[in-house]
Amino acid sequence: MSAAGKRYAQALMASLGTAGPEKALADLDAFALWLSEVPALGIALENPGIPAEVKTKLVDDLGTAAAFDAVSIRFVHLAVANRRLRQWNELVAAFRRLCDEKRGVVRARIRTARPLSEVAKRDLAARLEKVLGGTVELEPVVSPALLGGVELRLGSTVYDGTVSGALRALHQDLLKG
């Protein structure tokens, strides 16, 4: 998480007061989707030639039409005013991590060669919850290039139990002699 992303996420969390962060997170995700699907929106909001009042009105109108919370609209205004739209996904990811920390949720990405069954996903999540002591949300990723095995990513830590990982380790051991 970048320093800017962390600062913005903390500021947004503090401005929510007693309100839960779920609505704000949904609003930020919706705005991220707009930025990706309508590139002209980001270009217009970043254009220094367009007056700030026009940008403010555009954000207000979009936020109101989409039923954004007032806090979410102010956050978008802040990001536009400080020219942070190019980092929008990073800001949202930082806020999501902060929300997860607050709720005690750990996100885990599991990469396999074939899709996992629902039973296997539930079993793995339950085992991880026992070890980590919190709620685990799994993000399964299918990657046929793995050949077999499982790669588990928890934050920045990777547990490699894949066939290709074992072959790499064997190769390194053989090179060392």
Name the residue with higher pLDDT: 56 or 1.
56
Domain with 151, as residue range(s), is: 104-176
pLDDT at position 35 over 80: yes
Distance between CA atoms of residues 170 and 160, nearest Å: 13
Per-residue burial over 37-51, b = 16 or more CB atoms within 10 Å of its CB, e = otherwise: eeeebbeebeeeeee
Structural domain ending residue among the three candidates 81, 101, 121 = 101
Return all residues near 97 (Cβ < 8 A) that are at least 6 apart.
1, 9
Element (H, E) at 109: strand 105-112
Find the range with the poorest average confidence among 16-20, 73-77, 90-94: 16-20
pLDDT for 1:
63
**DSSP β-ladder status, 135-142 and 149-154:** unpaired
Using one digit for the tens of pLDDT, what is the confidence trace for 140-173?
999 888 888 889 998 778 888 888 888 888 889 8
Structural domain ending residue among the three candidates 101, 122, 148 = 101
CATH number at residue 108: 3.40.30
Return all residues near 32 (Cβ < 8 A) that are at least 6 apart.
88, 89, 92
pLDDT at position 77 over 90: yes
Using one digit for the tens of pLDDT, what is the confidence trace for 80-134?
999 999 999 999 999 998 988 888 888 889 999 899 899 999 998 899 889 888 8
Element (H, E) at 52: helix 52-65
CATH number at residue 40: 1.10.520
Structural domain ending residue among the three candidates 101, 131, 155 = 101
Q: How far, in Å, are 21, 26, 94 from residue 88 at the CA level?
A: 17, 14, 10
Name the residue with higher pLDDT: 18 or 41.
41
Which SS3 state, helix, strand or coil, does residue 158 take?
strand
Distance between CA atoms of residues 82 and 163, nearest Å: 47
pLDDT at position 53 over 90: yes
pLDDT at position 68 over 90: yes
> Do residues 115 and 48 share a domain?
no
Q: For the chain, how many structural domains are there in total? A: 2
Return all residues near 55 (Cβ < 8 A) that are at least 6 apart.
44, 45, 80
> Do residues 83 and 134 share a domain?
no
